[in-house]
Amino acid sequence: MQKNASFKGLTIPLLLLLPQLAITVVFFYWPASQAVWQSFLLQDAFGTSTEFVWFENYQLLFTDPGYLKAFWNTAIFSTFVCVLSLSIALLFAVMADRQIRGAEVYKTLLIWPYAVAPAIAGVLWIFMFDPSLGMLARGLGRLGIAWNPRLNGNDAMTLVILAATWKQISYNFLFFLAGLQSIPKSVIEAAVIDGARPWRRFWTIVFPLLSPTTFFLLVVNIVYVFFDTFGIIDTVTGGGPSGHTETLVYKVYSDGKGGSNLGGSAAQSVVLLIMVIGMTAIQFRFIERRVNY
């Protein structure tokens, strides 16, 4: 953490730290503390007076069916996106890890969607699956499958899951590939000599050795689904139809936007904050462990 032959002094290091600390305090700590403070306040309907109400906003929140539904939506959304994007990415990474000709080209062709903005990914998918003009939506129609993400909540959820998964595969692929390439070849060769077939080798040797990567990716993916998918949801469904794709972050935005329910929106922010802190803590405990081994 600290160099042995370090410099001494106080003014210079504080000046060096000043830009970052100033921005951090003004745009991180102050607003975050405001969110916590507001979550204990209740505004009357005209915004003229506020009252300190302890945990009433939280009570209201957890009895609000809309909020519980957003929880449920987020759980479904995260589960599907994590399982799909992790397993598809792992499959691609295992294939790209073989010493085949052109593996590098395939790698390049698979990683660039990382650079596509979530909101743009949403636009690409709504264009394919728009019920009236989307090419793939028409294909579904010809197959006799009813499809309308504007009206049907499950269709809408399916569409945001597909878009979010599509966007996340490249990220997971890259980390899985790096993980696979760090597994010593000698371990695999030993298994080959012992006569283990590829399928068995994968599940008994490669997959367990990848578990640190998988676990790390799981946490990162959950954080991705929680926060970064806002753009996807906003462009694809706008939270609709009737709240079927409203996630926790989306609800913070839509409830706070009008400014009428600041306390409730702030309480939602605080709930999210606690969840993020929990996830970060889990991740760091795990990283500590990995460093020690």
Partner 1 sequence: MVEDRRLGDAIAYVILSIGVLIVAFPVWLTFVASTWDNPTIINGQLPLWPGPHFFDNYYRILFVGTSGTTREPVAGMMLNSFIMAMAIAVGKIFISVLSAYAIVYYRFPFRMAAFWIIFLTLMLPVEVRIFPTFKVVSDLRMLDTYQGLAVPLIASATGTLLFRQFFMTIPDELLEASKIDGAGPFKFFKDTVIPLSMTTIAALFVIQFIYGWNQYLWPLLVTTRDSMQTIVIGIKKMIVTSDALTEWQLAMATAMLAMLPPVLVVIAMQRLFVKGLVETEK
Residues 206 to 265 in contact with partner 1, rule: CB under 8 A: 216, 220, 223, 227, 230-231, 234-235, 238, 249, 252-253, 256, 262, 265
Cα separation, 265 vs 268, in Å, equals 5
Per rule CB under 8 A, is residue 45 in the interface with partner 1?
no
Per rule CB under 8 A, is residue 186 in the interface with partner 1?
no
- In the numeric block, the tokens 């367990």 are attached to 208
Q: Which is nearer to partner 1, 161 or 231 (CB)?
A: 231
Per rule CB under 8 A, is residue 83 in the interface with partner 1?
no
At its nearest, how many Å lie between partner 1 and the CB of residue 4?
Answer: 5
How many residues form the binding site for partner 1 (CB under 8 A)? Answer: 100
Q: Which is nearer to partner 1, 75 or 281 (CB)?
A: 281
| Residue 18: Cβ-neighbour burial (10 angstroms; 0-12, 13-18, 19+) | exposed
Per rule CB under 8 A, is residue 95 in the interface with partner 1?
yes
Per rule CB under 8 A, is residue 54 in the interface with partner 1?
no
Three-state DSSP state, 41: strand
Q: Which helix (H) or strand (E) holds 250?
A: helix 248-257
Residue 205, amino acid:
I
At its nearest, how many Å lie between partner 1 and the CB of residue 44?
Answer: 19
User: Mask 260-289, x = binds partner 1 (CB under 8 A)?
Assistant: --x--xx--x--xx--xx--x------x--
Per rule CB under 8 A, is residue 7 in the interface with partner 1?
yes
At its nearest, how many Å lie between partner 1 and the CB of residue 65?
Answer: 23
**Which whole-number Å values give the CA distances from 179 to 63, 168, 279, in the listed order?**
44, 17, 22
Per rule CB under 8 A, is residue 106 in the interface with partner 1?
yes
The per-residue DSSP string of 52-102 comes to E-TTHHHHHHHH-HHHHHHHHHHHHHHHHHHHHHHHHHHHHHHHHHS--TT
